[in-house]
């Protein structure tokens, strides 16, 4: 099997798995039936829990004892929180926070 054919079948399999994962709740519960309370609860808490885990993972190795003392992370985090509170747009908040962080570590806190 050539490399191009192999890549094609990898994409087909990944697309099928992605489609099936997204279609599974509709196949399981149907469109008219209301999902169980446990599924609704998980839908409400999984996203904030995943974001919290990502934040902890991202700042776990920040050293506040040496320069830059965690200031780029703190400033970028404040930008994300501030923009999200102000505009309620996750994409804007995350992209802006990432851009601010990159500018800070590449230009300001060298």
Where are the domains positioned within the chain? Answer: 1-33, 36-61, 64-110
Return the structure tokens found at 41.
């609860």
Q: What is the pLDDT of residue 34?
A: 81
pTM over 0.75: no
CA distance 10 to 18: 12
pLDDT in tens, 30-77: 877 788 888 889 989 998 899 899 999 989 999 989 999 999 999 999
Enclosing H/E stretch for 18: helix 3-29
Q: How confident is the model at residue 78 (pLDDT cuts 50, 70, 90)?
A: very high
pLDDT average, residue stretch 5-14: 96
For residue 61, give the DSSP letter.
T
């Amino acid at each position: 099997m050539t490399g191009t054919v192999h890549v094609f079948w990898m994409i087909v399999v990944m697309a099928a798995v992605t489609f099936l994962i997204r279609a599974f709740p509709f196949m399981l519960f149907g469109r008219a039936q209301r999902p169980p309370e446990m599924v609704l609860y998980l839908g409400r808490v999984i996203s904030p829990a995943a974001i919290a885990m990502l934040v902890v993972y991202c700042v776990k190795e920040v050293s506040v004892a040496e320069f830059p003392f965690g200031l780029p992370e703190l400033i970028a985090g404040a930008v994300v929180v501030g923009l999200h509170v102000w505009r309620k747009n996750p994409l804007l908040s995350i992209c802006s926070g990432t851009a601010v962080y990159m500018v800070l570590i590449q230009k300001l806190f060298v």
